[in-house]
Amino acid sequence: MSDPFANRGNRDASVVNPRPGGTADGSRHSGPTRPGRTGDPFLIGENMRGGYGKADILNGCTLAVEKGQIAVIVGPNGAGKSTAMKAIFGMLNLREGSVRLDGQDISALNPQDRVKAGMGFVPQVANVFPTMTVEENLEMGAYLRGDDFRQTMQQVYELFPAVADKRRQNAGELSGGQRQQVAVGRALMTQPKLLMLDEPTAGVSPIVMDELFDRIIEIARTGISILMVEQNAKQALEIADIGYVLVQGANRYTGTGAQLMADPEVRRTFLGG
Protein backbone atom coordinates (compact mmCIF):
# COMPACT_ATOMS: atom_id res chain seq x y z
CA MET A 1 0.00 0.00 0.00
CA SER A 2 1.36 3.42 -0.79
CA ASP A 3 1.88 5.84 2.04
CA PRO A 4 -0.54 8.78 1.67
CA PHE A 5 1.83 10.97 3.67
CA ALA A 6 4.90 10.06 1.68
CA ASN A 7 5.34 13.57 0.37
CA ARG A 8 4.79 15.36 3.63
CA GLY A 9 6.75 16.35 6.63
CA ASN A 10 10.20 15.63 7.74
CA ARG A 11 12.08 13.40 5.35
CA ASP A 12 15.30 13.54 7.22
CA ALA A 13 16.66 10.25 8.50
CA SER A 14 18.82 11.65 11.27
CA VAL A 15 19.07 10.14 14.73
CA VAL A 16 16.57 12.63 16.09
CA ASN A 17 14.02 11.47 13.57
CA PRO A 18 14.10 7.68 13.62
CA ARG A 19 10.97 7.37 11.45
CA PRO A 20 11.51 9.63 8.48
CA GLY A 21 8.81 9.86 5.88
CA GLY A 22 11.56 9.97 3.48
CA THR A 23 14.22 9.09 1.19
CA ALA A 24 16.88 7.49 3.30
CA ASP A 25 17.30 5.62 6.52
CA GLY A 26 20.09 3.82 8.29
CA SER A 27 18.63 0.38 7.65
CA ARG A 28 18.36 0.86 3.92
CA HIS A 29 20.56 -1.49 1.93
CA SER A 30 23.70 -0.11 0.42
CA GLY A 31 24.37 -0.26 -3.28
CA PRO A 32 27.79 -1.00 -4.71
CA THR A 33 30.76 1.34 -4.57
CA ARG A 34 32.43 2.35 -7.80
CA PRO A 35 35.87 3.71 -8.54
CA GLY A 36 36.24 7.45 -8.00
CA ARG A 37 37.75 9.76 -10.60
CA THR A 38 41.37 10.50 -11.36
CA GLY A 39 42.52 13.61 -9.57
CA ASP A 40 39.73 13.51 -7.00
CA PRO A 41 40.32 15.21 -3.66
CA PHE A 42 40.27 12.84 -0.68
CA LEU A 43 36.59 13.61 -0.16
CA ILE A 44 34.29 15.33 -2.58
CA GLY A 45 30.55 15.84 -2.49
CA GLU A 46 30.10 17.11 -6.01
CA ASN A 47 27.22 18.99 -7.58
CA MET A 48 24.86 17.87 -4.83
CA ARG A 49 21.16 18.46 -5.44
CA GLY A 50 18.42 17.32 -3.14
CA GLY A 51 16.20 18.14 -0.19
CA TYR A 52 13.57 16.80 2.13
CA GLY A 53 10.51 17.00 -0.04
CA LYS A 54 9.84 18.29 -3.49
CA ALA A 55 11.84 21.50 -3.20
CA ASP A 56 15.59 21.18 -3.34
CA ILE A 57 17.65 22.58 -0.50
CA LEU A 58 20.98 21.77 -2.12
CA ASN A 59 21.27 23.41 -5.50
CA GLY A 60 24.39 21.91 -6.97
CA CYS A 61 26.78 22.51 -4.13
CA THR A 62 30.27 21.04 -4.10
CA LEU A 63 32.41 20.48 -1.02
CA ALA A 64 35.79 18.85 -0.90
CA VAL A 65 38.68 18.29 1.46
CA GLU A 66 42.14 16.83 1.04
CA LYS A 67 43.80 14.35 3.34
CA GLY A 68 44.77 15.82 6.69
CA GLN A 69 43.29 19.20 5.82
CA ILE A 70 40.59 21.27 7.46
CA ALA A 71 37.66 22.45 5.33
CA VAL A 72 35.23 24.91 6.87
CA ILE A 73 31.70 25.62 5.68
CA VAL A 74 30.11 28.90 6.68
CA GLY A 75 26.95 30.68 5.59
CA PRO A 76 23.70 32.12 6.87
CA ASN A 77 21.14 30.13 8.87
CA GLY A 78 19.10 27.92 6.60
CA ALA A 79 21.70 27.96 3.82
CA GLY A 80 21.75 24.17 3.77
CA LYS A 81 25.02 23.57 5.61
CA SER A 82 23.64 20.78 7.80
CA THR A 83 21.74 19.38 4.84
CA ALA A 84 24.99 19.19 2.87
CA MET A 85 26.66 17.34 5.75
CA LYS A 86 23.75 14.88 5.92
CA ALA A 87 23.97 14.35 2.16
CA ILE A 88 27.67 13.55 2.37
CA PHE A 89 26.98 11.14 5.22
CA GLY A 90 24.18 9.41 3.31
CA MET A 91 21.25 10.59 5.42
CA LEU A 92 19.66 12.33 2.47
CA ASN A 93 19.19 10.93 -0.99
CA LEU A 94 20.60 13.08 -3.74
CA ARG A 95 18.70 13.74 -6.94
CA GLU A 96 21.97 14.64 -8.61
CA GLY A 97 25.62 14.61 -7.78
CA SER A 98 27.91 12.15 -6.10
CA VAL A 99 30.01 11.60 -3.01
CA ARG A 100 33.49 10.17 -3.46
CA LEU A 101 35.88 9.23 -0.68
CA ASP A 102 39.41 7.91 -0.87
CA GLY A 103 39.17 6.79 -4.49
CA GLN A 104 35.69 5.28 -4.26
CA ASP A 105 32.30 6.55 -5.33
CA ILE A 106 30.26 5.88 -2.19
CA SER A 107 27.04 7.59 -3.31
CA ALA A 108 25.03 4.38 -2.98
CA LEU A 109 26.17 3.54 0.55
CA ASN A 110 23.95 3.98 3.59
CA PRO A 111 25.34 5.89 6.60
CA GLN A 112 26.41 2.73 8.41
CA ASP A 113 28.49 1.61 5.44
CA ARG A 114 29.90 5.12 5.08
CA VAL A 115 31.18 4.79 8.64
CA LYS A 116 32.83 1.53 7.60
CA ALA A 117 34.29 3.35 4.59
CA GLY A 118 35.94 5.85 6.95
CA MET A 119 33.48 8.61 7.78
CA GLY A 120 32.79 9.90 11.27
CA PHE A 121 29.94 12.35 11.74
CA VAL A 122 29.04 14.59 14.66
CA PRO A 123 25.60 16.06 13.93
CA GLN A 124 24.54 19.55 14.99
CA VAL A 125 21.93 18.35 17.48
CA ALA A 126 21.43 15.24 19.62
CA ASN A 127 25.04 14.18 19.20
CA VAL A 128 25.42 12.38 22.54
CA PHE A 129 23.23 9.93 24.46
CA PRO A 130 22.48 12.06 27.54
CA THR A 131 21.36 9.22 29.84
CA MET A 132 24.44 7.13 29.13
CA THR A 133 27.80 7.65 30.75
CA VAL A 134 30.67 9.22 28.87
CA GLU A 135 32.32 5.82 28.58
CA GLU A 136 29.12 4.20 27.28
CA ASN A 137 28.85 6.95 24.69
CA LEU A 138 32.35 6.13 23.47
CA GLU A 139 31.48 2.42 23.44
CA MET A 140 28.42 3.21 21.32
CA GLY A 141 30.73 4.99 18.91
CA ALA A 142 32.73 1.80 18.55
CA TYR A 143 29.79 -0.53 18.06
CA LEU A 144 30.56 -1.20 14.41
CA ARG A 145 34.05 -2.36 15.34
CA GLY A 146 34.68 -6.02 15.97
CA ASP A 147 38.17 -5.55 17.37
CA ASP A 148 39.62 -4.27 20.62
CA PHE A 149 38.89 -0.54 20.83
CA ARG A 150 40.43 0.17 24.24
CA GLN A 151 43.48 1.86 22.76
CA THR A 152 41.31 4.22 20.71
CA MET A 153 39.35 5.05 23.86
CA GLN A 154 42.61 5.81 25.62
CA GLN A 155 43.59 8.12 22.77
CA VAL A 156 40.26 9.95 23.07
CA TYR A 157 40.82 10.38 26.81
CA GLU A 158 44.32 11.72 26.15
CA LEU A 159 42.95 14.18 23.59
CA PHE A 160 40.17 15.29 25.97
CA PRO A 161 41.37 14.91 29.59
CA ALA A 162 38.28 16.69 30.95
CA VAL A 163 36.16 13.92 29.44
CA ALA A 164 38.38 11.24 30.95
CA ASP A 165 37.74 12.67 34.41
CA LYS A 166 33.99 12.33 33.84
CA ARG A 167 33.95 8.89 32.27
CA ARG A 168 31.46 7.45 34.78
CA GLN A 169 29.14 10.45 34.64
CA ASN A 170 26.09 10.72 32.39
CA ALA A 171 26.81 12.77 29.29
CA GLY A 172 23.68 14.82 29.96
CA GLU A 173 25.26 16.18 33.15
CA LEU A 174 28.29 17.64 31.39
CA SER A 175 28.87 21.22 30.32
CA GLY A 176 28.18 22.13 26.70
CA GLY A 177 31.87 22.11 25.83
CA GLN A 178 32.47 18.76 27.50
CA ARG A 179 29.48 17.28 25.71
CA GLN A 180 30.90 18.40 22.37
CA GLN A 181 34.17 16.71 23.31
CA VAL A 182 32.28 13.48 24.03
CA ALA A 183 30.51 13.79 20.68
CA VAL A 184 33.80 14.26 18.83
CA GLY A 185 35.35 11.43 20.84
CA ARG A 186 32.46 9.14 19.98
CA ALA A 187 33.00 9.81 16.27
CA LEU A 188 36.73 9.13 16.64
CA MET A 189 36.04 5.66 18.09
CA THR A 190 35.65 4.18 14.60
CA GLN A 191 39.06 5.61 13.62
CA PRO A 192 37.64 7.64 10.74
CA LYS A 193 39.68 8.96 7.84
CA LEU A 194 37.27 11.88 7.54
CA LEU A 195 35.72 13.60 10.53
CA MET A 196 32.61 15.67 9.84
CA LEU A 197 31.62 18.20 12.49
CA ASP A 198 28.42 20.25 12.35
CA GLU A 199 28.95 23.31 14.55
CA PRO A 200 31.21 21.70 17.15
CA THR A 201 31.60 24.96 19.07
CA ALA A 202 27.91 25.89 19.25
CA GLY A 203 27.05 27.30 22.65
CA VAL A 204 30.52 27.14 24.17
CA SER A 205 32.61 29.97 25.57
CA PRO A 206 35.40 31.56 23.49
CA ILE A 207 38.07 29.83 25.58
CA VAL A 208 36.48 26.42 25.15
CA MET A 209 36.06 27.15 21.45
CA ASP A 210 39.79 27.91 21.07
CA GLU A 211 40.63 24.71 22.90
CA LEU A 212 38.33 22.66 20.74
CA PHE A 213 39.84 24.19 17.58
CA ASP A 214 43.32 23.30 18.89
CA ARG A 215 42.20 19.69 19.35
CA ILE A 216 40.70 19.68 15.84
CA ILE A 217 44.04 20.89 14.42
CA GLU A 218 45.73 18.11 16.39
CA ILE A 219 43.34 15.53 14.90
CA ALA A 220 43.99 16.82 11.37
CA ARG A 221 47.76 16.55 11.92
CA THR A 222 47.34 12.80 12.38
CA GLY A 223 46.16 12.66 8.75
CA ILE A 224 42.41 12.76 9.37
CA SER A 225 40.50 15.14 7.09
CA ILE A 226 38.11 17.54 8.76
CA LEU A 227 34.90 18.86 7.18
CA MET A 228 33.37 21.31 9.59
CA VAL A 229 30.39 23.65 9.63
CA GLU A 230 30.96 26.70 11.81
CA GLN A 231 28.93 29.65 12.99
CA ASN A 232 32.08 31.19 14.50
CA ALA A 233 33.17 31.95 10.98
CA LYS A 234 36.22 34.15 11.53
CA GLN A 235 37.84 31.89 14.08
CA ALA A 236 37.11 28.78 12.03
CA LEU A 237 38.43 30.28 8.80
CA GLU A 238 41.65 31.09 10.64
CA ILE A 239 42.35 27.38 10.98
CA ALA A 240 40.90 26.38 7.61
CA ASP A 241 42.96 25.11 4.69
CA ILE A 242 39.90 25.70 2.55
CA GLY A 243 36.69 27.57 3.24
CA TYR A 244 33.29 27.47 1.59
CA VAL A 245 30.61 30.12 1.87
CA LEU A 246 27.30 28.43 1.18
CA VAL A 247 24.17 30.43 0.31
CA GLN A 248 20.84 28.89 -0.64
CA GLY A 249 22.35 25.49 -1.14
CA ALA A 250 25.03 26.66 -3.56
CA ASN A 251 28.67 27.71 -3.37
CA ARG A 252 28.96 31.49 -3.17
CA TYR A 253 32.67 31.86 -2.36
CA THR A 254 35.47 29.32 -2.13
CA GLY A 255 39.06 29.93 -1.14
CA THR A 256 41.73 29.31 1.43
CA GLY A 257 40.74 30.53 4.87
CA ALA A 258 43.14 33.46 4.44
CA GLN A 259 41.71 34.40 1.03
CA LEU A 260 38.16 34.47 2.33
CA MET A 261 39.18 36.48 5.38
CA ALA A 262 40.90 39.01 3.09
CA ASP A 263 37.97 39.35 0.68
CA PRO A 264 36.15 42.60 1.54
CA GLU A 265 32.87 41.32 0.11
CA VAL A 266 32.99 38.13 2.17
CA ARG A 267 34.01 40.08 5.25
CA ARG A 268 31.20 42.58 4.91
CA THR A 269 28.45 40.11 4.05
CA PHE A 270 29.35 37.03 6.05
CA LEU A 271 31.96 37.86 8.66
CA GLY A 272 30.41 40.95 10.18
CA GLY A 273 32.94 43.42 8.66
Ligand X SMILES: Nc1ncnc2c1ncn2[C@@H]1O[C@H](COP(=O)(O)OP(=O)(O)OP(=O)(O)O)[C@@H](O)[C@H]1O
Q: Which residue is nearest to Mg ion (CB)?
A: 82
79 interface partner picked from Mg ion, ligand X, none, CB below 5 to 8 A per type: ligand X
Please report how close the Cβ of residue 77 comes to Mg ion at its closest, in angstroms: 8
Question: Whole-number minimum distance, CB 9 to ligand X, in Å?
Answer: 7
**Residue in 81, 57, 80 with CA at minimum distance from that of residue 71:** 81
- Widest CA span in the chain: 57
Contacts of 268 (CB under 8 A, 6+ apart): none
One of 82, 107, 127, 201 touching Mg ion (CB under 5 A) = 82
Interface residue list for ligand X (CB under 6 A): 10-12, 52, 57, 75, 77-83, 124
Whichever of 124 and 201 has its CB closer to Mg ion, that residue is 124
Q: Alpha-carbon Rg of the chain, whole angstroms? A: 18
Q: Which does 23 bind (CB under 5 to 8 A by kind): ligand X, Mg ion, none?
A: none
Distance separating alpha carbons of residues 39 and 216, to the nearest angstrom: 26
The four Cα atoms 105, 95, 16, 144 give a dihedral, to 10 degrees, of -20
Phi, psi of 201 (to 5 degrees): -105, 15
Beta strands at 225-229 and 70-74: parallel, antiparallel or unpaired: parallel
Taking the complex as a whole, the smallest distance from the CB of residue 151 to ligand X amounts, in Å, to 34
> CB of 92: closest distance to ligand X in angstroms?
9
What residue 83 binds from Mg ion, ligand X, none (CB within 5 to 8 A, per partner kind)?
ligand X
The helix/strand/coil state of 22 is coil
Nearer to ligand X, 76 or 255 (CB): 76
Q: Which does 78 bind (CB under 5 to 8 A by kind): Mg ion, ligand X, none?
A: ligand X
Q: Are 87 and 110 in contact (CB under 8 A)?
A: no
Cβ atoms 199, 207 nearer than 8 A: no
Considering the complex, state which of residue 164 and residue 247 has its C-beta at the smaller distance from ligand X: 247
- Rounded to a whole number of angstroms, the minimum distance from the CB of residue 222 to ligand X is 27
**In whole angstroms, what is the distance from residue 69 CA to residue 61 CA?**
20
User: In the range 119-148, which residues lie near Mg ion by CB under 5 A?
Assistant: 124
The nearest distance, CB 78 to Mg ion, in angstroms, is 8
The residue (of 80 and 118) whose beta carbon lies closer to Mg ion is 80
What is the amino acid identity at position 70? I
Binding site for Mg ion (CB under 5 A): 81-82, 124
